Structure 1
Amino acid sequence: MNTLDPVAVFRMEAAECLEAIEAGLLDLTHRLDDKNLVDAVFRGLHTLKGSGSMFGFDALAAFTHHCETAFDRVRKGEVPATAELVAAVLAAQDHMRALVDQPDADHGDTGQKLLAQLQAAVGEKASTNQAIPAIAASGPLGAPARQTTTWRIRFSLPSNAMANGTNPLGLLDELRDLGECTVRANTAAIPPLGEFIPTELYVSWEVVLTSDQDRSAIDDVFIFVMDDMELDVQEIPAPVGPISPTSEDIASATVAVLPAVAAPQPIVSSEFRPVEAVPVKRETTVAQPERQAKAAENVRVPAERLDELMDRVGELVIAQSRLSQLASASTDIALRSVSEEIERLSGELRDTMMVLRMVPVATLFSRFRRLVHDLARETGKVIELVTEGESTEVDKTVIERLADPLVHLVRNSIDHGLETPEDRLSAGKAAAGTVTLSARQAGGEVIISIRDDGRGINRERVRAKAESSGLIAPGQLLTDSELLQLIFAPGFSTAAAITNLSGRGVGMDVVKKTVEALRGAIDIESIPGEGSEVSLRIPLTLAIIDGLLVRVGSGRYVIPLSAVEECLELSLEEDLRSRGRSFISLRDSLVPFLRLRDLFRTGTKPDVHQKVVVISTGTERVGLVVDQIIGDHQTVIKSMSKLHNDVATFSGATILGDGSVALILDVGHLVVAGQQQEAQMRVAG
């Protein structure tokens, strides 16, 4: 068994820590006076610095120290939090990420420039009659001298603290660094030798500390172990003599909350006289195993292993299909029984595997908070990002592939869609523009929408650009949907000049190609003066789907079951009667249908009793005429070769139980084909 590289584990945890810091900074942008957010960012920077130093990332630890120091000043009220400080630390966070990924690379003078920016952000708000020490100094930023205070500190750690890597003597050493202290160990809780467990901690401590530091400095000592410990800190008038805690003192022990780190061993006072035990609350000791159990429920698994497991499950589904086909042709009852049991188990395994691969879109949406923040500063626009439906889950592969297309769409909405604050106010709108990211599930699809309340799409400009580029003939009649779809053409851009955001005409083309590669489709709507909305309709999963197996001529095809609404019978007489109009009446509404036998040019005669499979994508419906409905089929999706990239009718292929191949129909393309046929019939009529 391969053991995980500790440095690789640190990089994963550092990435999570940096994401948490970024999220805290972006929240702080909107609530600069929120002390909890300031503390959260400070703790994240403190954690990253300590972990980096522990694993030998000295450059990371040294650089992060300066950002931590700046936020320590904010936390202590010496300087206020400002938008400039948040922007400076966000920029510094990118450098921290580079120091994590490439600690030995030459990063030039990037660090020094960022430190100068950070110093300026803090210095601009400093007192005018007090010089600001350089942030690059090795020690903490300067602070006025303080009077000394004496504190009585009682603390006890959970019994499994040392087994989890916490060194209590390291905490005592940090307390001694704060000033003069006397430490007494309480050993009254140590059991007889026969009941003694070497890995458990039975000792608690009482410390009298005289220091010029405030209460927050004491809390910082225990910042990583507060989750599971009991801590009581009391201010007393002056240093006291021998410690003799009263029952009232002991009863005042309280529980505080925060994970754990090891530290070097200190020199502790030699006077270790047993004193009265500080009782640990029973609910704390009972809850501790529950917290450990909950933490153990989450296990890191490399994505490659999930992909490999998904491939094995797919092969199992194909083998199970083969077994079912053999069993159906056999009269052996035992074989049929085993086949049904294997089919049930493989179905449950498939469903479980699909859940493992599903990821909430919140992981995707959270990336755009930083993008919107940076673009707002770059363009001078006031932008609010709103997210909806973040709990909607999508296959992890879909999430990975959608990141870049959504970046292009969000940048496009901000650059082309949203107006400047002055233009918005003159148009009677709020100064702040809104970009909304939303996700919802509809059948077997997830619809991800990017909506803005900007100026909308200028149809005349789009048509003029399309005609000048040769995409359409001058004066060519187009529906509104067809005209708006032109913005996804390669090289198409209505920008007057090329900027850092847009103008080269490659972004929207990338969006279309990526979405089509995911077997998805793009819808676009725009109202002049009110805004635009681009919707991406993406399959929930790219691996295994439930399908409806049908026969057309001598070939077999799979229709995704999530898109199937109902199945009807179409007799030969009705088929002949509908020639020339291709509509069926379905509950007082006309539904266009496509004869797949003609579309695929099978050259065969239709069956006497044909079937119509009504499929839909959202509100649009179309019927597919097939010769036979064979039944449901667990479909393992296999990608088509590059030679078939231009065949839009099919989204993939699957292997049937007998080893033959069945093509998977692209429902979205067929619905569009049905709509076009309906429009042509109306024009002809």
Structure 2
Amino acid sequence: MTTLNPVDVFRMEADELLACLETTLLDLGEKPQDRALIDTAFRALHTIKGSGAMFGFERVAAFTHDFETAFDLVRQGRVAASVDLVNVALSAKDYIRQLIDDPDGAEPIFGQAILDELGTLVGRATGRAEAAPESAEGPVPERAAEPAPREAAGRETGWRIGLAFAPEVLRNGTNPLALLDDLRDLGPCEVVARLDAVPDLAALDPGALAIGWDVTLRAAVAREAIEDVFLFVQDEMTLSLAQLGGEADAPAPAPAEPAPAQEPVAAAAPVVVPLAPQAASAPPAPPGARAGARRSEERSASTVRVEAERLDELMDRVGELVIAQARLSQLAGLHADAGIKSVAEEIERLSARLRDTTMSIRMVPIGALFGRFRRLVHDLSRDLGKPVEFVTEGEDTELDKTVIERLADPLVHLIRNAIDHGIEDPARRAGSGKGATGRITLSAEHAGAQVRVSVRDDGAGLDAARIRAKAEEKGLVTPGAALSDQQIYQFLFAPGFSTAATISALSGRGVGMDVVKKTIEGLRGTIDITTAPGAGTTVTLRLPLTLAIIEGLLIRVGEGRYVVPLSAVEECVELPEGDRAGRGRDFLNIRGALVPFLRLRALFEAGGEPDPYQKVIIVSVGETRVGLLVDQIIGNHQTVIKSLSKLHADVATFSGATILGDGTAALIIDVGRLVSGGQAEMPREYQEVA
């Protein structure tokens, strides 16, 4: 059994903290007076610094400490959180990520430049002109002196601090020595260990902490600065504080006996802050108390980190189980034994539950992906000089983790194009009667067994004539050819196609939308484009919920069996007798609407005579409705998707294969590509109906 490397655990936790920091800084740019956002950013920095030092990332700890020191001035209210400060803080966050991901590749000169700029901003805001002191990464802003706890002449200032941790604190990943180092950063400290609670060697538990500490901090710092050091371990310790130089300057009482809450506390008496009553004493707890602590810890552990590879392996095993269950059900149907049928039904019920549970484990809210693009929009808006408001909708919509991972790059290209090509500059927007700030809306919603992800802008919309002219120039279409607007818009996804007049850092090479199309088709999804001149453009991605197991409709065409994804099926009708002989393509009247249909026997070159009563499966691809003529509809089928071999990689009509209950294979039809290929062979009048 493999265990996670502690360094890998730190990197995962750091990713979450850095994501939180980025989101908080972006919010802070919009609401610079929000104290809660400032405190959240400071806590994230403090945690990264402490964890980095604990796991040996010394450069991370050093740089973050300097960054945190400057940001502490914002927290004190001495420096305002400006847009420039937020931009520098975002650059610092990027540098911290580089220090974590690739310590050797992170150039110290970049860290120095960031801290230089940060020091300049802070110095300007506080009215200082002197240079910031040097650090491991470069100059840093001077730390502001904390207000003294007492201002009496001739009296010593500082604090007596008593520390007692819960016995399980080491097992939970906390390093008390690192916390003592944080106290030393506040000023000169005298640290004395309490050893009276250490048990005899025979009773010593190496994983349990039985040592406490008494610390004398001789520095004029505020109580909040000390409490912040222990902010993230407050549930695992007891902290007692007493000011030096008071009238009753006595040692802090032992945390094992905190003062009762109902007793009044004299002004000069030591102040005890009980952060965790259950962990008030350092000696090992009795067995009953330990059991209670374990139960409490288990309740708090609501999530468990699992490697993605294990989830993928579990999904593969569930897929094999589903196939075996289908074979068992088929064999049970051939026997009259009621016992075998009962067992087969029970296994079918259990495997269905296991399948649903496993698939739900793989489902991730898409909001985690949406949050990444706030920084992209922020940077593009600044670089292009276009004020842009970024709005997200449907963040709770869940999608398979594999789909979400592969969806990031296409959305980056779509959002970049929307801002670069779609949103006009403020002058043009003013001339069109629009507000100076553009709007990008990223939304997601469930639609049956699919998820629709849309990128919408309120820009100028697509210019079909300009796109067509560029397509003719590149030889993608012959001049004068009859094309609908939707067909013209599809040229945007052609390799090397771009309407940009010049090549820039953002556009002009024609590779972005090509990547979008290939990735979405690889996910068995489709792309729809709707636009209105002067009102903007919407690009909608239709994606399957999962890539592993789908519900399908099992059909027969000739002697071959195929699966049509149930999410694309609208209805099934019988082919009217008068339409049974045709030219390989025709259309039906479905409740007053003309629906063209494709004869799959002709497309798949199936031999033999067609069935006397053929069926038409009405499928939808975006706004298009098309019928698929088949010999027989066998029924619903729980489809475990298997990839095709490399020899069949260029077969666009099928997206994969599945194994049926009798052990034979059935190809899974890619409805979008099948309809696109079939429409290309239709006469013009049929394409217009579709």
1:487 matched to 2:469: no
Alignment of 1:251-270 (within 5 A): none
SS of 1:505's partner is coil
Bigger Cα displacement from structure 2, 650-659 vs 286-295: 286-295
Partner of 2:93: 93
Instruction: Quote the sequence identity (%).
Output: 55
Change in 2 beyond 3 A, CA 1:88/1:588: same
Give me the whole-angstrom Cα distance separating, in 2, the residues matched to 1:171 and 1:3: 27
Give me the whole-angstrom Cα distance separating, in 1, the residues matched to 2:161 and 2:667: 72
Give me the whole-angstrom Cα distance separating, in 1, the residues matched to 2:538 and 2:545: 21
1:303 matched to 2:308: yes
Which of 377, 386, 395 is residue 381 of structure 1 equivalent to?
386
Give me the whole-angstrom Cα distance separating, in 2, the residues matched to 1:105 and 1:625: 59
Normalising by structure 2, we get a TM-score of 0.84
Partner of 2:287: none
Partner of 1:269: none
Alignment of 1:380-459 (within 5 A): 380-459=385-464
Give me the whole-angstrom Cα distance separating, in 2, the residues matched to 1:552 and 1:10: 55
Which of 617, 633, 639 is residue 613 of structure 1 equivalent to?
617
1:569 matched to 2:568: no
Give me the whole-angstrom Cα distance separating, in 1, the residues matched to 2:111 and 2:73: 20
Change in 2 beyond 3 A, CA 1:530/1:47: same
Change in 2 beyond 3 A, CA 1:174/1:476: closer
1:563, 1:616 within 8 Å by CA — same for their partners in 2?
yes
Change in 2 beyond 3 A, CA 1:409/1:613: same
Bigger Cα displacement from structure 2, 442-451 vs 72-81: 72-81
Give me the whole-angstrom Cα distance separating, in 2, the residues matched to 1:498 and 1:661: 49
Bigger Cα displacement from structure 2, 540-549 vs 104-113: 104-113
Deviation at 1:618, TM superposition (A): 5.6
1:313, 1:350 within 8 Å by CA — same for their partners in 2?
yes
Give me the whole-angstrom Cα distance separating, in 2, the residues matched to 1:156 and 1:109: 42
Give me the whole-angstrom Cα distance separating, in 2, the residues matched to 1:682 and 1:80: 61
Give me the whole-angstrom Cα distance separating, in 2, the residues matched to 1:399 and 1:372: 19
Alignment of 1:627-646 (within 5 A): 627-646=631-650
Which of 452, 461, 464 is residue 469 of structure 2 equivalent to?
464
Residue type at the aligned position of 2:338? I
Deviation at 1:559, TM superposition (A): 1.3
Residue type at the aligned position of 1:491? G
Partner of 2:286: none
Alignment of 1:212-291 (within 5 A): 212-227=220-235, 238-242=246-250, 247-249=262-264
Change in 2 beyond 3 A, CA 1:588/1:210: same
Residue type at the aligned position of 1:143? A
Partner of 1:32: 32
SS of 2:263's partner is helix
Residue type at the aligned position of 2:554? L
Give me the whole-angstrom Cα distance separating, in 1, the residues matched to 2:173 and 2:309: 31
Which of 329, 338, 362 is residue 333 of structure 1 equivalent to?
338
Deviation at 1:679, TM superposition (A): 6.0
1:119 matched to 2:122: no
C-alpha distance after superposition, 1:176-196 (max 9, x if no partner):
8657899999x9x99xxxxx9
Alignment of 1:4-403 (within 5 A): 4-105=4-105, 107=107, 109-127=109-127, 131=130, 133-134=132-133, 136=135, 141-143=142-144, 146-149=147-150, 161=169, 164=172, 178=187, 211-227=219-235, 238-242=246-250, 247-249=262-264, 292-403=297-408
2:424, 2:459 within 8 Å by CA — same for their partners in 1?
yes
Change in 2 beyond 3 A, CA 1:169/1:441: closer
Give me the whole-angstrom Cα distance separating, in 1, the residues matched to 2:557 and 2:91: 59
Change in 2 beyond 3 A, CA 1:181/1:11: closer
Change in 2 beyond 3 A, CA 1:499/1:287: farther
1:417, 1:453 within 8 Å by CA — same for their partners in 2?
yes
Partner of 1:650: 654
1:530 matched to 2:535: yes
Give me the whole-angstrom Cα distance separating, in 1, the residues matched to 2:376 and 2:688: 46
Partner of 1:602: 606
Give me the whole-angstrom Cα distance separating, in 2, the residues matched to 1:577 and 1:429: 57
Give me the whole-angstrom Cα distance separating, in 2, the residues matched to 1:216 and 1:237: 19
SS of 1:621's partner is strand
Supply the RMSD in Å over aligned alpha carbons: 3.9
1:446, 1:539 within 8 Å by CA — same for their partners in 2?
yes
1:2 matched to 2:2: yes
1:622 matched to 2:635: no
SS of 1:26's partner is helix
Deviation at 1:321, TM superposition (A): 2.0
Change in 2 beyond 3 A, CA 1:159/1:486: same
C-alpha distance after superposition, 1:505-548 (max 9, x if no partner):
11111111111111111111121211111111111111111111
Residue type at the aligned position of 2:441? T
Give me the whole-angstrom Cα distance separating, in 2, the residues matched to 1:578 and 1:390: 48
Give me the whole-angstrom Cα distance separating, in 1, the residues matched to 2:574 and 2:145: 88
Give me the whole-angstrom Cα distance separating, in 1, the residues matched to 2:500 and 2:178: 61
Deviation at 1:397, TM superposition (A): 1.3
SS of 1:609's partner is coil
Normalising by structure 1, we get a TM-score of 0.85
Give me the whole-angstrom Cα distance separating, in 1, the residues matched to 2:436 and 2:419: 14
Bigger Cα displacement from structure 2, 321-330 vs 20-29: 321-330
Give me the whole-angstrom Cα distance separating, in 1, the residues matched to 2:585 and 2:250: 102
Give me the whole-angstrom Cα distance separating, in 1, the residues matched to 2:301 and 2:133: 44
Structure 1: stretches of 5+ with no match in the other structure: 191-195, 261-273, 276-284
Change in 2 beyond 3 A, CA 1:4/1:645: closer
Deviation at 1:254, TM superposition (A): 7.0
C-alpha distance after superposition, 1:155-213 (max 9, x if no partner):
8766755664657798678668657899999x9x99xxxxx999989999999977511
Bigger Cα displacement from structure 2, 221-230 vs 85-94: 221-230
Residue type at the aligned position of 1:248? E
Partner of 2:201: none
Give me the whole-angstrom Cα distance separating, in 2, the residues matched to 1:145 and 1:603: 88
2:50, 2:178 within 8 Å by CA — same for their partners in 1?
no
Structure 2: stretches of 5+ with no match in the other structure: 151-156, 199-203, 254-258, 282-289
2:119, 2:140 within 8 Å by CA — same for their partners in 1?
no
Residue type at the aligned position of 1:226? Q
Deviation at 1:330, TM superposition (A): 2.5
Which of 550, 560, 580 is residue 555 of structure 1 equivalent to?
560
SS of 1:225's partner is helix
Partner of 2:285: none
Count of aligned positions: 657
Deviation at 1:445, TM superposition (A): 1.3
SS of 1:100's partner is helix
1:622, 1:674 within 8 Å by CA — same for their partners in 2?
no
Change in 2 beyond 3 A, CA 1:288/1:72: farther
Partner of 1:193: none
SS of 1:615's partner is strand
Bigger Cα displacement from structure 2, 204-213 vs 436-445: 204-213
1:179, 1:212 within 8 Å by CA — same for their partners in 2?
no
Bigger Cα displacement from structure 2, 466-475 vs 638-647: 638-647
2:381, 2:388 within 8 Å by CA — same for their partners in 1?
yes
C-alpha distance after superposition, 1:340-396 (max 9, x if no partner):
222222222211121121111112111111111111221111111111111111111
Give me the whole-angstrom Cα distance separating, in 1, the residues matched to 2:106 and 2:39: 32
Deviation at 1:68, TM superposition (A): 1.0
